A = this chain, B = another copy of it.
Amino acid sequence: MRDVARAAGVSVATISRVVNRSGEVAAPTREHVLEVVRELGYATNRSASALSGGRTGLVGVVLPRMRAPYFDVLVDAIVHALIEHDLRAVICPSLREHGESGLLDTLVPGVTEGAVVVLPSESSAELRAVHERGYPLVVLDPKTPLEPGIPSVSAANTSGAVAAVEHLIELGHRRIGAVTGPPGWCATEERLSGYRAALASVGIVPEPSLIAPADFEVAGGRTAADRLLSLREPPTAVLAFNDNLAVGTCQAARARGLSVPGDLSVVGFDDSAQAALVTPPLTTVRQPLDEMARVAVGLLVRQLAGGSIEPLRIDLATSLVVRGSTAPPTLRGHAVQAA
């Protein structure tokens, strides 16, 4: 920068001003400086700039290691939402094993201005502690309930599950099973409560044996669904708590010679890229991941700008995408059950 200043015959302050578009600079001076900058291939040293001015333009994106299709689109969405605010993402896998300090450490303090934490494995208290120290934070899709005070955004899990079950009920299903995620997770509990509520609203008492917990992986879904299908009175439809689980459920059905949706209707959750590709294409509850990312980043940006934010918890509406894995129940299903 000093070189540029010398070459352009001005002071470093002027260079700084034109490069950052801050302060008024005479047009000819600006032009000249810009030209010299170009010639010398000068690029501002962001570390120095950050140290001085306090802005790094970097935001931590903390996430558990997971190669779910749900994940990549979320990360992609976050990265691009950030870019729109001229912020860049530093990916911080939340490896609890590595550092004692957990978040404080993974966040690369002193580099990162704030963070979007996805499915945090950190406790609510830890999160709040960091946040209260003045580190801007927003949780995207909290894994477990967060104490108030720390901003978060999720999908409207409950109403999504309600919509899915209502769809099944309208089709004529009465025995509807659920292949859920891990107990205790928000996603699981909220979807479960939607499932129960929708059933209850048409006078069906949710039967505990129709609920099979799993782990959000295909294989787990297969196992859990198989348990459901081996019941004396198996369900004619199941709501899987994500698309992986739905795929696993279809596999379990097929393995028993049941057709989907002929003998068993399956609804997934997420609307991942896979959903439309598998056979049959999955009817599923769509999570508005792009919107969620955009909103989360918006919340973070407002904190970065110093404004405190009003709504501490935001849920974004889901929508049901009807494809080929759901249909009215058939007699054949019952025949098989009777056998």
A interface residues with partner B (beta carbon < 8 Å): 41, 43-51, 56-58, 61, 65, 67, 69, 71-73, 75-76, 79-80, 83, 88-93, 95, 101, 104-105, 108-111, 133, 218, 247, 273-274, 277-279
Give the residue of B45, B88, B95, B110 whose beta carbon is less than 8 angstroms from that of A90.
B88
Provide 29 A-B residue pairs closer than 8 Å at the C-beta atoms, listed in order of the A residue.
A41-B133, A43-B101, A43-B110, A44-B109, A45-B109, A46-B47, A46-B108, A46-B110, A47-B50, A47-B51, A47-B110, A47-B111, A50-B111, A51-B51, A58-B90, A58-B111, A65-B76, A69-B69, A75-B75, A83-B93, A83-B95, A89-B90, A89-B91, A218-B277, A247-B277, A274-B277, A277-B278, A278-B279, A279-B279
Starting from the known contacts A72-B75, A80-B93, 12 additional A-B residue pairs (CB-CB under 8 Å) come to A41-B133, A43-B101, A43-B104, A45-B110, A47-B50, A67-B73, A67-B273, A72-B76, A88-B92, A89-B90, A90-B91, A278-B279
Instruction: Name which residue of chain B comes closest to A100, CB basis.
Output: B38
What separation, in Å, do the CA atoms of A83 and B67 have in the docked complex? 16
Chain B neighbourhood of A95, CB < 8 A: 83
Contacting A111 at CB < 8 Å: which of B46, B247, B274?
B46
Q: Are A65 and B41 in contact (CB under 8 A)?
A: no
The answer to whether A273 and B43 touch across the interface, beta carbons within 8 angstroms, is no
When C-beta atoms are compared, the residue in chain B nearest to A88 turns out to be B90
Interface residue from B46, B110, B111, B247 paired with A109 (Cβ < 8 Å): B46
Among A47, A49, A93, the one with the most B-chain Cβ atoms within 10 Å of its Cβ is A47
CA distance A278 to B275 in the complex (A): 10
A111 lies within 8 A of B56 (CB): yes
Which residues of B lie under 8 Å from residue A79 when comparing CB positions?
Answer: 91, 93
A67 and B76 contact, Cβ closer than 8 Å, known pairs A47-B111, A110-B48: yes
